Chain A
Amino acid sequence: MNQFPILLKREFWEHRNTFIVLPLVTTGFMILMMVGFYIAVDIGGINADITPDRDGSSHQVTRNEVHADEAFELMLSKLASLPPSEREHKLYKILNGLGTPLLVILSIVVFFYLIVSLYNDRKDRSILFWKSMPVSDINTVAAKLVTALLLVPAVYLVCLAVVQLVLLIIASLAAMGQDVSIWAALWEPSNLVGRWLTLVVYILFQAIWNLPFYGWMILVSAWANSVPLAWIIGIPIAFSVAERIVSDDNLVSAWFASHASPIVIAHDQELQITDLLPRLLDIDTLLGLSVGLVFVCGAIWLRGRGDEI
């Protein structure tokens, strides 16, 4: 019997608000803002500061002169006038910026989920119910990790994709019937599908990269009898202080801190699959993976001994 689907569902029942409602509300809010902006531009006009075109002729546009369709046309024509690489970069920045709120909320949600993942049911005694079911401790912990590392990010990524799509659709609608190729100026350089694929790879890689920290959180969640958050943060801080005193260095703490943060892609700001893949097999990543797995095994072991608190 494959218990896994229902174990994952269970997590979404418990954390419905942060896993489903919050991203939907955020997405809805962002779409409303974009539509609102469009309407505001359409009604009130915009004080668009249009810099000289490439042919040198200058549009000086002042407030209330340009309405939405014209404003977007101007923006598009400006985009279209940029060299392709710059155009792509500009769109990348816009679309990426649009995704940032969702990605920040995602990391906060996952953080707080992992803190309580093996703690809450010990606190409210429902562990006695969960453990009276024929579910192994390995499956219990694995379901929580899969939820935190894959499923919740997937939900937020879908929302992010929707927001980006809506932005491009609004921009296209606004510019329709104008003398600009919407495809060439907007859709093609946006490379949405490529970006989404990159993000999926990024999320998967991030899951591996951050496993030491995620594993640490779930371990403390299984172990702490009170305030797991304090232990999760306190122990590494205490360790880092001790490390500095003993060795005048902070090799281990710095390493751990780097695995508690998003992975840094050094030489380029723009995220590329080709930059990610080589990092997947380097020593640092593999070491992180091993340490993370040790923590996860510890969490499974503690869960087996775990009791109500």
Chain B
Amino acid sequence: MSSVVQARGMSKRYGKFEALRDISFDIETGSIVGLIGPNGAGKTTTLKALLGLTRFDGELQVLGMDPRRRRHEIMKRVCFIADVGVLPRWLKVCDAIDYVDGVHEGFNREKAEALLRETNILPGQKVRQLSKGMVTQLHLALVMAIEVDLLVLDEPTLGLDILYRKSFYERLLNDYFDHSTSIIISTHQVEEIESLLTHLIFIDEGRIILSCSMDELPSLYSEVLVAPEDVERALAYAPMHTREMLGKRSMIFENVSVETLGHFGEVHTPSVADLFVAKMQKG
């Protein structure tokens, strides 16, 4: 499969702080990648590097171009929504549409207007008069009216209430995604996007600690609820994470076969959130 993004040995320092430490990854065409990590792990830096919005060392190709030199060309085929609040407060809604229409060849004005009509946003309002949720809706409407190859979302639902968050992702999946588009979403609220993802990247302290497809997950990681009498034997297989649960012990194993673990109880694939916690605490 072809890649939209190829990163090799990317590093970035802010003074003494190492935001990215030699990270490498690929994003395949048509995938929905979750970039997951705690605050300050390097998620935003990674995404901004993809978009040519920050400098870094190492190699990076987005749609075959280096974002450090060809940002404005890449942006013809890539869209970006950051966490709320990057639309300037003085901008009027109708002017925002005029602007994108005036600079972006791939923008479909009718579609953006139709999307906005479904919201409570009025064309004459300024961004400063909109709630956080409405600003995100506006930005989303602008972006969804552009046909792109790659959509980059950096904590797009941060600070929004649960209703907006739900409809945001539904919208995204139903109206936007087709298999020629790739999406990369960063978040630290894993549960919200777990069901959307085709690929996972865990990042912590500037390093990638896991990168795999959701399809691979069951063969790599297993979770078993172990009865107290079996705990000793199960621990011999070196679980990466254990926790007490309903009087039993829940254990997550990496690369231990399902047949082996089947002796201790019912084996299932851990949720992304649990896997994340396990990875983080192990690391």
Contact = CB atoms under 8 A, between A and B. Distances in A.
A14 B90 contact: yes
Interface string A1-18: 101011101100110000
Interface residues of A, number: 26
B39 to A, nearest CB: 17
A7 B85 contact: no
Contact of B103 (A13, A133, A304): A133
Interface in B158-203: none
A135 B86 contact: no
B13 interface: no
A87 interface: no
A137 interface: yes
A137 B73 CA distance: 11
Interface residues of B, number: 34
B104 A131 contact: no
B86 A126 contact: yes
A10 B89 CA distance: 13
Interface in B52-85: 52-55, 71-76, 78-80, 82, 85
B50 to A, nearest CB: 11
A133 B139 CA distance: 12
A125 B104 contact: no
Contacts of B76: 134
Interface stretch (B94-102, B108-116, B245-253): B94-102
A134 B51 contact: no
A13 B91 contact: yes
B21 interface: no
Interface in A1-46: 1, 3, 5-7, 9-10, 13-14
B89 A124 contact: yes
B88 interface: yes
B90 A133 contact: no
Nearest to A126: B88
A77 B74 CA distance: 70
Contacts of A158: none
B92 to A, nearest CB: 7
Contacts of B91: 13-14
Contact of B72 (A14, A128, A136): A136
Contact of A10 (B78, B87, B99): B99
B86 A125 contact: yes
A1 B72 CA distance: 13
A3 B86 contact: no
10 contacts: A6-B98, A6-B99, A7-B103, A124-B88, A128-B82, A129-B139, A132-B75, A132-B80, A134-B73, A307-B54
Interface of B: 48, 51-55, 71-76, 78-80, 82, 85-92, 95, 98-105, 139
